[in-house]
Each structure stands twice: as structure tokens, then as C-alpha cells.
A and B are shown apart, each in its own frame.
Chain A
Amino acid sequence: MHLFPVVEFGGIGFDISSILAIVVSCIVVMVLARVAVSNLSVHNPSKVQNFMEWVIDFVHSTIASTMPLQKAKKFVILATTLIVFIFVSNLLGLPLGFVTEVDHDHHGPVTFMGQELLSAEEVDEAHANNEHLAFAWFKSPTADIAATAGLALVVFFLIHFLGITQNTKHYFKHYLEPFPVMLPLNLLKTITKPTTLALRLYANIFAGEVLIATILMLGWIGIPLLAVWQGFSIFVGAIQAFLFTILTFVYISESIVHEDH
């Protein structure tokens, strides 16, 4: 598979492709949102405004299905940001790929902006094993486990912060329910929830991109297949964005809403 360019600054590794993807995703979302709301009107809404209102209403009803209506209102913007950002991120890797290959007769370290991506030994070893060396410079940010882990950490923080501040008593009591023996399981659950969020999103999008890369190796025969898979990836991207968002709010709702049993 493609390698990802990781450069080191001050002993910390930075994955340039992921950072680029995150920045591009953010900019795309910002620009789209900004353009969509540039011409707001109370009396004569444009088509774009109607669409945005539909998105907001959709998100609102989605969240409202997981928690009481008056609590859902505060989270609509967060949920919309999440769903739009993840959806755009998921789609970003589909149309564009930017790959640089390392020639077979290249020897010595591979560098980028004065930074070493691969050491001379690694290149030689790869050549010796007849491996294909190529760097992918662009991808979906959500096809990177580290990026989805970031999103999941935000969710993790939100779940517990909101639980502690808004539902203090029941939040802590919740760990001992239904029986105190369940404490280890409940603790494990706090870890598994965000982990599954991150892994699910990453795995779906990454798998989609791997398959695209694989189909591309087929050459021109793969074109119809690629078209079908790209279409399906859009669907998967939308589903995963929706899933991530609704699960986030299911988890938040679990921690902030106390229901009498």
C-alpha cells in the first residue's frame, strides 16, 4: 500500500497527508457553510437557505430522537458541525488522489522539505524486497485512525463533561448500576464507546479508499467498477457521518438524561 509522509519537527512526527486533509476539510466546510448562509433572509429564503434549514431540521429531529426536545436544542449546532464535517471528510478522499512514487533506481533517503521520510536503509530494504514505494499526499482525514481518534476523544470528553456537570448525581451512580459488581464493565464501556466510534468510522472510510486504490491498479478495465464503488462510497460516507453523529448523541443522552426506572 501507499506510505504516508511523516516528517519530524522537534521530535514529534507529523503526518503531512492527514494534516493537509484535515485543513482542507475544515476549509471546505467553512467555505460551504459561509456561502450557504451568506444570503439569509427572513421573508424570502433562497434555495440554499432552504436546504440548510432542512439539514438543521433533519439533525434536530435526529438528536431529538435520542433525548428530550428542550435538551436537544443546545446540541444542534454541534451535531450539524459533526455530521457536515465527517461527511465532507469522507467524500474528500474519493475524487482526489495525489501519489508520488519512489523510483526503483532511487537510492539513499527520501526527503521532503529537508526532512527525511524514509531512511536510506529502508529504501534499500524495500528495493531488495521488490516493494512498490509510493507516498499518498492526500486522502480522507477520516481514513486515518489518528484523526478519527481525535473526533472520538472530543466525543469522550463531551460525554463525561456534560454528564458530570448536568447530571452529577446520577452520572456517578450510573457506574454502579444495575449492580455494583458491574463497575468494571461500566468502566470498560466508557473506553469502548469512543473506541468503537473511531474504529468504525476509520475502518469504513479506509477500506473504501483501499478498494479504490486496488481498483485503480486494474487500469481501464476497472473504470465501471470504480464508478460503482465511488457511488457506494458516497453512500457509505453519508451513513458513517450520520452514524457517528447519532451515536455521539445517544451516548451523550445516556450520560445526561436520567430516566426513572
Chain B
Amino acid sequence: MHFVPSTTIIMIVAFILLYVFLNKYAFGPLFGIMEKRRELIQEQITTAEQSRTEAEQFLAEQKAALDQARKDAYEIIEQSKTTSTKQANEIVNTAKAEATRLKEDAVKDIESEKNKAIATLRGEVGELSVKIASKIIEKQVDSKSQEQLVNQYLKEVGGRP
């Protein structure tokens, strides 16, 4: 074992120079890059977390919107169903009422025509009877039998509806 003191000094100087060199040109920059990468990764994690939360929120919103739309559609269908049923009923009722009215009108018309016909007939029959009566009277004036005759005719004519 031999000890050369100059080697010790040279070693110290060499080590310090090496440290300065590595600090400046090798590990220093590497350290900076590592720090940057750490920041980048941190940032990416934060961003990913954020977008995940956003996506979840969007999903929830979409789900709610979909549910709302479904509900709305159901309501609209229900509503239109009710409306159509109501309308159908209305139409049927109107038609029924119309038919009834028409029938009643017809019946009334028939009645009035019948009454008119009866009245006319009655007038004519009266006239006719007077004529017949006058003719008979011309032949034989017997008021009693004449009246009886008239009534008999009238009965015969009026009793026939």
C-alpha cells in the first residue's frame, strides 16, 4: 500500500469537476425533464378525472332527458287517445241526435200531412155530402132522415182512419 497525496487532491478536483459537469449538462436537464413529465402526468390524470366526471354528468343528463322524452311521448299518446275517444263519442252522439231529430221531423211531417189530408177530406166530404144531400132533398125533403143520413155518411167516412 502506497499513498501518493497528489492523487487525493486530483481525485477531489476531478470529483468536483465531474459533479459540476453532470449537474449542468446531464442530471440537471434530466431532472428538469423528469419534473416536467411528472407535471404532465399529473395534469393528464387531473384532466382525465375531470372529463370522466363531465361524462358521467352528461350521461345522467342524457338519461334524464330520455326519460322525460319517453314520459312526454306517453302523455301525448294518452292525450290523443282520450281526445280521439271523446271525438268519436261526440260524433256518434251528434249522429244519433241528428237521426232522432230527422226521424221526429219526419214523424211530425207525416202527422201534419195526415191531419191536413183528413181536414181536406173532411171539407170535401162535407161538400160532397151537401151536394148529395141537396140532390136527395131535391127528391124528398125529410130533414130527419136527411140528418140521419148525413151522420151515417160522416161516420162511415170519418171512422175510416
Contact = CB atoms under 8 A, between A and B. Distances in A.
B8 interface: yes
A149 B12 CA distance: 9
Given A45-B37, A56-B30, A56-B34, A141 B22 contact: no
Interface residues of A, number: 43
A141 B7 CA distance: 9
A76 B1 CA distance: 33
Nearest to B41: A42
Interface string A141-163: 10011111111011000000000
Contact of A81 (B6, B27, B30): B27
Contact of B16 (A15, A18, A154): A154
Chain B at the A interface: SS class? helix
A81 B30 CA distance: 13
Contacts of A12: 5-6
Contacts of B11: 22, 141, 146-151
B7 A40 contact: no
A6 B4 contact: yes
A18 B15 contact: no
Contact of B22 (A29, A42, A148): A29
A118 interface: no
Interface residues of B, number: 33
A33 B12 contact: no
A12 B5 CA distance: 9
Contacts of A26: 14, 17-18
Contacts, number: 120
Nearest to A53: B34
Contact of A146 (B5, B22, B30): B5
Chain A at the B interface: SS class? helix
B130 to A, nearest CB: 131
Nearest to A155: B15
Contacts of A76: 27, 31
Contacts of A22: 7, 10-11, 14
Contact of A85 (B8, B18, B33, B40): B18
Interface string A18-46: 11001100100110011011001111010
B7 A146 contact: yes
A14 B12 contact: no
B29 interface: yes
Contact of A30 (B6, B21, B29): B21
B7 to A, nearest CB: 4
Nearest to A153: B12
Nearest to B24: A77
Contacts of B153: none
Contacts of B2: 4, 6, 15
A230 interface: no
Given A34-B26, A80-B27, 12 more contacts: A4-B2, A33-B22, A33-B26, A42-B33, A56-B30, A76-B27, A77-B27, A81-B19, A85-B15, A146-B4, A150-B9, A154-B16
Nearest 5 CB-CB pairings of A with B: A150-B11, A33-B26, A146-B7, A15-B4, A150-B8
Interface of B: 1-12, 14-19, 21-23, 25-31, 33-34, 36-37, 40
